[in-house]
Amino acid sequence: MAISNADFVLAWKNVLEQCQLKPGEQVAILTSDDSNMQIVECARTAAGLLGGIITMINLPMINGDKALSRDKSGYVGQTTQLGVNTSALAALKAADLVIDTLQLLFSHEQEEILKTGTRMLLAVEPPETMLRMIPSPEAKNKVIAANKYMDPAREMTVTSKAGTDFRCKLGQYPVLLQYGLADEPGRWDHWPSCMIARWPDEGSAEGIIVIDEGDILLPFKRYAADKIYLTIEKGFVTKIEGGWTAEYMKAFMDSFNDPDAYAMAHVGWGLENRANWTTLGLYDREAALSMDARCFAGNFLFSTGPNTEAGGTRDTPCHLDIPLRGCSLSLDGAPMTRDGVVVHD
């Protein structure tokens, strides 16, 4: 159901206050021709009400001829002219807060901007989804509490009744804490979010991951019609076996002709009780990024492809996020989820 601009402006004002926006701060709102204009206009109104000094930056997209669809999550990191648009890049670096309605995620330019201390908030989900999952101190505290286990952990293991038996070492890369607020210098986040993840140590991921019927495949934004069996060896997916869904997944990854497309990327679990794995079936595939799927409480979310946002060197535009239900995830032997239910404090 659509929401009113009045309700959405109030939500934006709430979130920007939590992002520590102060009067006189420089706010850059980054757009492209396909940005959701309700998001853009309500964000601009709320930032103005809080005294932000607003700059609108519109960038054309590139590499559309290389992507297999208009969905920006299907071809990541190399999608704007920001790499050659030095004036726009300088303006974004000079901002205190960037509201990204374009999706710079996984780009080198995003990392450059964050290193200057600029805060950045991604906002590309449908407004009604954003309103349903407004970031809150409670959600932030959940993620921080989970990090008390994640940060010192040196091994993750994941099992499931479907047959998953996966393990990896941890510690080489930083923890990704997402709670929907860009509230510290140099912090990136995405409204809505409530999840925690980390990239495995290079070459350490091993085992079998079984994608069961009904589990979610992103960026395809579809539920698996049959089981998919992934063999993980030395940090890479080496086999994709199963029925037609497995064949579909493999054909998509093969199309990039890039070995890094098969690398294991971040692994973690969802913490958002307001998210629901069923919402994927209620939206047109191009209408949402599907953060419900990535964040619903108790999922095991694993991904493949790039690791540039963690400081790594894999810059492949092929990125899959796959949240699984019914998994049991442990850190150094301590259970975080059991059969798809969060069990840590």
Packing angle, helices 108-115 and 86-94, rounded to 10: 40
Given this model, what pLDDT does residue 82 score? 77
3-state secondary structure of 329: strand
3-state secondary structure of 185: coil
Give dist(CA 177, CA 147) in Å, integer.
8
Contact of 303 with 290, CB cutoff 8 Å: no
Q: Quickly count: other Cβ atoms within 10 Å of residue 315's Cβ.
A: 17
For domain 5-124, give its CATH number from 1.10.10.10, 3.90.1150.10, 3.40.50.2300, 3.10.580.10.
3.40.50.2300
Given this model, what pLDDT does residue 189 score? 98
Given this model, what pLDDT does residue 286 score? 77
Question: What are the residue ranges spanned by the domains of the chain?
Answer: 5-124, 137-342
Give dist(CA 132, CA 130) in Å, integer.
5
Q: Which amino acid makes up residue 199?
A: W
Burial 262-276 (b: 16+ CB within 10 A, else e): bbbbbbbbbbbbbbe
Given this model, what pLDDT does residue 179 score? 98
Give dist(CA 317, CA 226) in Å, integer.
26
Given this model, what pLDDT does residue 76 score? 52
CB proximity list for 125: less than 8 A, separation 6 or greater: 191, 192, 288, 289, 291
Contact of 19 with 186, CB cutoff 8 Å: no
Which uninterrupted H or E stretch holds 178?
strand 175-178
Given this model, what pLDDT does residue 77 score? 47
pLDDT along the chain (345 residues), means of 10: 93 98 98 94 98 95 57 56 84 97 86 96 96 97 98 98 98 97 98 98 98 96 96 98 96 96 97 94 82 97 91 89 98 98 90
Nearest to 249 by CA among 275, 269, 221: 221
